[in-house]
A and B are shown apart, each in its own frame.
Chain A
Amino acid sequence: MRPWVDLYVQHQALRAMNDREAANEVRQVLRKLSEKPYAVLRRDAQARLVEGRVPQSPSVQYTLGRERGGEELELAALPPPLQEAVALRNARLAVLLRFDRRAERLQELNIMLSGQRHDDSPWAVAVHLPHDRQTADRPQGDRDGIGACGHAALHCHVGPTLDHEPKVRVPFPPLRPAQLVEWAVSQVVPTAEFEPAPWSGVEAMLRPS
């Protein structure tokens, strides 16, 4: 049981972050994803990470674009060799982040990528960190489900849709929002151009200096 408790503690610790710093990290990833020649998002996606502040409240959210369903990935615009590696006909990326600015706390995270395979069947991944607010109807905050293994706080759904049974929730390591966006896109375009941590780079960083 201890490792699951440790993971939950790490997920709790992950929430401590400054929203502007986290948003700027995400913008850097979005910028990379929208720069030619390997762009999967429309140009200047970094400018479309929209900040929304609730007046007279510490609550601030960031969403990718105003379209609530997120933004379409421009998979067809990829150069031909990369297109062959893509198993989806279309996909949309949604980034939803909510923070308590005063407490410097990530309250909720939702990074979703869904689309259709070439045979038109649906496919989706979604990384969720639920809201941790304890209320009368949520007395346990982010302790959803029945335990820290089956329903880890930071988890990823993988399936044809998010609602298909069995609802797979893969526990996720405590990665920051920018890395989660990188990861999600790397699953759809599994090529060197979209791999944020190529083994050659990992090896170089592991080498003693």
Chain B
Amino acid sequence: MDDTRHDDETVGDIANALLVLANVGYGDFDSRVNTQLSTDTPLGALLVGIDEMLDALQAERERSQKYQRELEEKLDTIARQREAIRELSSPIIEVWEGVLCVPIVGVMDSARSAETTETVLRAVAEKGSECLIIDITGIDVMDTRTVDHFVKMARAVRLLGAQCVLTGVTPSIADTVVQMGLDFSGIDTERSLREGLKRYVARASA
């Protein structure tokens, strides 16, 4: 009789262990076998060993989840900073000999328009460029005064002997310009940066 009871218990312990392992298979690392058997018996040693392995697995999983969270946070920060860098600066790219291109993305406030003017005029003078393309596809809204300032900047570029082209003017900015009655004479505009590049790069390489 004793033997039979013992077999039942053994079967129960093994079934229990299998349930725990099935849980692990479903991603639940919390359940344990918690056997009453002593580690002196082979089955007891195995079951305790399973629990120990699960403890280690769980700890490892928590650590890797923590790493993943940290990594995601870092990637998020990098993405935000990259966006900030794009919004806070206006790179001046020499796309072709004598052709400078300034893509402006984000928000154009008064401080940035002053900065842009300064760097643009300096670059045109230093490089002796023939043409400056300012692309404002990435700008949806500009204060009337800032638009006015842009027009003045374009005139200053002409004074330096270069052609100033404005590309990617959005409908709302076009509206601002017309409402304000700004004088755009002497400033070339192209529908898109692509059109601007095509025309002026062709001219520069001719």
B is bound to A: no
Listed in ascending order, the chain B residues whose CB lies under 8 Å from chain A are none
